[in-house]
């Protein structure tokens, strides 16, 4: 009985250590621009941009799939200008800015 408990404790400690190390090795720094861009989009989640919601559009803008904010049909010109200016002036985790058209 004692051996089984010690085995489970040892196994738990080993798996916990493995998870901790994996978390450090595979950590991906989040792109802080995502929330800002998501909040600047209209937030209708209408799908007119080709994504199922504004979250997909924000991700598309950040990963280079979307090159113009006008792909979001309900957005107004001020929103398009604000989002493109923000992304063109603020670098991501890789230190690079984007070339997004309003
Ligand atoms: S078209 Fe604009 S408002 Fe509609 S889901 Fe896409 S980003 Fe959101």
The pLDDT score that the predictor gives to residue 28 is 85
Predicted local distance difference test score (pLDDT) of residue 66: 97
What is the C-alpha to C-alpha distance for residues 99 and 102, in angstroms, rounded to an integer?
A: 10
Which of 9, 27, 16, 36 minimizes the C-alpha distance to 90?
36
Q: Note the pTM of the prediction, 2 decimals.
A: 0.78
Ligand 1 centroid distance, CA of 9 (Å) = 50
pLDDT given for residue 40 in this prediction: 98
Cite the beta strand spans of the chain per DSSP E: none
User: Whose Cα sits closest to atom 2 in ligand 1?
Assistant: 72
How many Å lie between the centroid of ligand 1 and the Cα of residue 68?
A: 13
- Confirm or reject: Cβ of 70 under 6 Å from ligand 1: no
Give the C-alpha separation, 26 to 74, whole Å: 38
pLDDT score recorded for residue 101: 97
pLDDT of 89 reads: 97
Q: Is the CB of 57 under 6 A from ligand 1?
A: yes
Count of alpha carbons within 13 angstroms of residue 19, beta-carbon side: 6
The list of the chain residues with pLDDT below 50 reads none
What is the maximal distance between C-alpha atoms in the chain? 71
Burial class (CB in 10 A: 0-12, 13-18, 19+), 84: buried
* Contact in structure between 64 and 54 (CB atoms under 8 Å): no
Q: 53 in ligand 1 pocket by Cβ < 6 Å? A: yes
């Amino acid at each position: 009985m004692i051996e089984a408990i010690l085995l489970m404790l040892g196994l738990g400690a080993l798996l916990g250590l493995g998870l901790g190390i994996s978390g450090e090795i595979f950590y991906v720094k989040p792109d802080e621009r995502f929330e800002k861009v998501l909040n600047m989009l209209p937030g209708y989640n209408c799908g007119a941009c080709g994504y199922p919601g504004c979250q997909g559009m924000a991700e598309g803008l950040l990963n280079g799939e979307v090159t113009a904010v006008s792909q979001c049909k309900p957005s107004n010109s001020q929103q398009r200008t604000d989002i493109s200016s923000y992304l063109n002036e603020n670098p991501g985790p890789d230190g690079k800015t984007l070339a997004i058209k309003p």
